[in-house]
Structure 1
Amino acid sequence: MPNIDIATLVIIAANVLISIKGFNDHYFFDKYKFNIAAIKKGEQLRMATSGFLHADFNHLLFNMLTLYFFAPVVVMYVGEVKFVAIYLASLLLGSLLSFYFHKDEPYYSAIGASGAVTGILYAAILFEPSMSLYLFFVPIPIPAWLFGVAYLLYSIYGMKSRAGNIGHDAHFGGAIAGYIMALVFMPTVLTNDLWIVLLLAVPIVLLFVLHKLGKI
Structure 2
Amino acid sequence: MSYTGIITLGIIFLNVLTSWKGFKSRTLFNKYEFEVERILLYREYRRLITSGFLHVSWKHLIFNMISLFLFSIMLDAHTGPVAYTAIYTGSLIGGNLLSLYIHRRESDYSAVGASGAVCGIIFAAIALYPGMIVSFFGLFPLPGWLYGIGYVLYSIYGIKSRRDNIGHDAHLGGAMAGMFIGLLITPEAILQNMAVIIALTLPCIFFMYVIIHKPHLLLVDNFYYNQHHIEGDIDDLYNAEKANRQKELDAILDKIHHKGINSLTKTEKEKLEQYSRQIS
TM-score category by the smaller chain? 0.7 to 0.9
Root mean square deviation, CA, Å: 2.4
> 1: CA distance between counterparts of 2:59 and 2:209?
35
Whichever of the two has the greater Rg, that structure is: 2
Q: Secondary structure at the match of 1:115?
A: helix
> 2: CA distance between counterparts of 1:164 and 1:44?
25
Q: Secondary structure at the match of 1:107?
A: coil
Equivalent residues of 1:132, 1:144 under 8 A apart: yes
Counterpart of 1:93 in structure 2 is 94
Counterpart of 1:164 in structure 2 is 163
Per mean C-alpha deviation after superposition, the further-off stretch among 141-150 and 18-27 is 141-150
* Deviation at residue 208 of structure 1 after TM alignment: 4.2
> 1: CA distance between counterparts of 2:5 and 2:141?
26
Q: Secondary structure at the match of 1:200?
A: helix
* Deviation at residue 164 of structure 1 after TM alignment: 3.5
Counterparts in 2 of 1:4-153, with a 5 A limit? 5-40=5-40, 41-134=42-135, 141-153=141-153
> 2: CA distance between counterparts of 1:56 and 1:117?
16
Aligned residue pair count: 212
* Deviation at residue 150 of structure 1 after TM alignment: 4.1
Matched, 1:173 2:173: yes
Where does structure 1 differ by over 4 angstroms across 4 or more consecutive aligned residues? Answer: none
* Deviation at residue 140 of structure 1 after TM alignment: 5.5
> 2: CA distance between counterparts of 1:141 and 1:94?
28
* Deviation at residue 10 of structure 1 after TM alignment: 1.1
Q: Against the structure 1 CA distance between its residues 213 and 23, is the aligned structure 2 distance closer, same or farther, given a 3 Å change threshold?
A: closer
Counterpart of 2:219 in structure 1 is none
* Deviation at residue 163 of structure 1 after TM alignment: 4.8
Q: Which runs of 5+ in 2 are unaligned?
A: 217-280
> 2: CA distance between counterparts of 1:38 and 1:21?
21
* Deviation at residue 35 of structure 1 after TM alignment: 0.7
> 2: CA distance between counterparts of 1:157 and 1:24?
29
Taking structure 1 as the reference length, the TM-score comes to: 0.88
Taking structure 2 as the reference length, the TM-score comes to: 0.69
* Deviation at residue 179 of structure 1 after TM alignment: 1.1
Counterpart of 2:262 in structure 1 is none
> 2: CA distance between counterparts of 1:54 and 1:212?
25
- 1:4-54 Cα shifts (integer Å, max 9, x gaps): 711111111111221122122221111011111111221111111000111
Q: Against the structure 1 CA distance between its residues 21 and 154, is the aligned structure 2 distance closer, same or farther, given a 3 Å change threshold?
A: closer
> 2: CA distance between counterparts of 1:17 and 1:180?
30
- 1:43-70 Cα shifts (integer Å, max 9, x gaps): 1111110001111222221111111111
Letter of the 1:170 counterpart: A
Task: Compare relative contact order (CA 8 Å, sep 6+) and give the higher one, 1 or 2.
Answer: 1
> 1: CA distance between counterparts of 2:201 and 2:6?
31
Matched, 1:203 2:203: yes
* Deviation at residue 143 of structure 1 after TM alignment: 2.1
- 1:127-182 Cα shifts (integer Å, max 9, x gaps): 2212233479xx954322233234324433443x3353242211111101111011
Q: Secondary structure at the match of 1:5?
A: helix
Equivalent residues of 2:132, 2:144 under 8 A apart: yes
> 1: CA distance between counterparts of 2:114 and 2:212?
28
